[in-house]
């Protein structure tokens, strides 16, 4: 398990904010529940954009990790939408990542409870062939 720190989070927020500032002005930021919410709040403050309860065309959609793509697939074709993630476990294609890794290690984000993350990892690995 790889433990991510709040300092790494702050660096990722700055990287993602720098990338977002090069895009046309988004209408707001939507965080994918659960993992994207903390990142969305931080980017909302950093970019001075509204935090959106629901995604809208032209918004930024953010999540903590891109692993299989299942979580972010529904947002792929949202008109004018840009997708940002903290960590991508595959090379980005239609999304942007602050960090890309080839490691299969489970990620423990700073806001997560370690025991709960271990249970999530076990369930995830059991669900895969």
The tens digit of pLDDT for each residue in 30-85 reads 999 989 999 999 999 999 999 999 999 999 999 999 999 999 999 999 999 999 99
Range of the domain at 109: 2-127
In this predicted structure, what is the pLDDT of residue 87? 98
Mean pLDDT of 17-27: 93
**SS3 of residue 16 by DSSP:** helix
Q: How confident is the model at residue 57, as a pLDDT?
A: 96
pLDDT band at 129 (very low <50, low <70, confident <90, very high): confident
> For residue range 82-107, what is the model confidence (pLDDT) as tens digits?
999 999 999 999 999 999 999 989 99
Identify the pLDDT of residue 8: 98
Other Cβ atoms within 10 Å of 1 Cβ, number: 10
Domains of the chain: total = 1
pTM of the predicted structure, to 2 decimals: 0.91
Taking the C-alpha atoms of residue 43 and residue 37, their distance in angstroms, rounded to an integer, is: 10
**Secondary structure (3-state) at 65:** strand
Write the CATH number for 38: 3.40.50.2020
């Amino acid at each position: 398990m790889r433990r991510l720190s709040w300092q790494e989070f702050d660096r990722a927020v700055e990287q993602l904010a720098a990338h977002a500032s090069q895009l046309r002005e988004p209408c707001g930021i939507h965080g994918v529940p659960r993992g994207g919410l903390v990142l969305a709040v931080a980017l909302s403050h950093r970019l001075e954009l509204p935090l959106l309860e629901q995604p809208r065309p032209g918004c930024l959609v953010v999540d903590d990790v891109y692993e299989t793509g299942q979580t972010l697939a529904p947002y792929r074709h949202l008109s004018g939408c840009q997708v940002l993630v903290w960590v991508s476990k595959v090379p980005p294609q239609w999304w942007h990542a602050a960090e890309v890794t080839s490691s299969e290690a489970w990620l423990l984000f700073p806001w997560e409870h370690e025991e709960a993350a271990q249970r999530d990892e076990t369930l995830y690995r059991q669900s895969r062939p």
